[in-house]
Each structure stands twice: as C-alpha cells, then as structure tokens.
Amino acid sequence: MKDNKRLKYIKEAHKFNRTRSNIRTEDYLEVIYELVKLKGYATTLDISRYMSVSAPSVTKMLQKLNGNNYLEYEKYHGISLTKKGNQIAETIRQTHGIVLEFFSILGINHNTANYDAEGIEHHLNHKTIKQLQKFIIFLKSDPNILKSYSNFRI
C-alpha cells in the first residue's frame, strides 16, 4: 500500500513523540523554577497546590527528579534545581514566552494565549522556536507591518 505524505508525517512525528512522562517532568521543573524565583525555595506542599496533585505524588516525582539529577531534594527541606534542571526550566519558560508573544501578535487574548502556550510549549522543536523568535523580531522591526496586520485582522 502506498503511503501518502500526511501519513508519512504522522509516522515521523510519532518516532519523536514526547511521552506524557517527559511532559510531566518538564511541568514539575517549570513549577519548581517559578516557585524558587518567587519565594527563594519550593516545598512539596507548594508544588502540590500548583500542580493539583497529592503531596505523596509530588514526593514520588521529586525522588525521580532527584535521581535524574534535575534537583536537590531532601525530605522536609526546601527544593532547588540543579544546573541541568534549571536549564530545562529556563528553556521551557523561554519557549512559553515566545509562543505567548506570537499569539499576542496574532491578537489572541492573554488568557487564551497563555493557556494555549502552556499546552504546546512542550511539543515544539527547538528549531521551530528559534524560527518563530526570528519571525517575531522581523515583525517587530517594522511597526508598519504590525499596524497593517492589526488593521487586517479587524
């Protein structure tokens, strides 16, 4: 049977499909990163509240993240990210910001844009993000382009 192009793309995408486990790991790193920036530390209870999961689930994930050298975790003490964990969290944060800015340029309201950016930030290839960032810079380099598009979308 002959594969059509769309089926080939689907097949290729699934070779590199991010597992839910990887996405969940990134979500935890992102929350810990933001909590540390906000308060100087993160606790199991804080993470539990922001992730809407039970404290025992958080503890289990923290042990996994600690074992993978993403964070430093001692029971009943504050949680901090390692250099490796920080790099991943910062990359996710930057990706979120780029996607959010792009959606904003498209005229999508902030809440929807934020929600959608959170949904896709883990699925985009870093090369796609770099090109999207370049495109945003290009659009912003000439205010007439943004004004023209703003008038067009009305």
User: Is residue 17 scored above 60 in pLDDT?
Assistant: no
Identify whether the C-beta of residue 29 lies closer than 8 Å to the C-beta of residue 70. Answer: yes
User: Is residue 75 scored above 80 in pLDDT?
Assistant: no
Identify whether the C-beta of residue 38 lies closer than 8 Å to the C-beta of residue 2. Answer: no
Task: Catalogue all structural domains in the chain, each as residue range(s) with its CATH number.
Answer: 5-81 (1.10.10.10), 89-153 (1.10.60.10)
- Whole-prediction pTM value? 0.80
CA 60 remoteness from chain centre:
22
Q: Determine the pLDDT at residue 27.
A: 92
For the chain, what is the total number of helices (H) and then of strands (E)?
Answer: 8, 2
* Per-residue pLDDT tens over the stretch 30-42: 999 999 999 888 9
Q: Determine the pLDDT at residue 86.
A: 96
Identify whether the C-beta of residue 47 lies closer than 8 Å to the C-beta of residue 78. Answer: no
User: Is residue 100 scored above 80 in pLDDT?
Assistant: yes
- For the beta carbon of residue 77, count every other beta carbon within 10 angstroms: 10
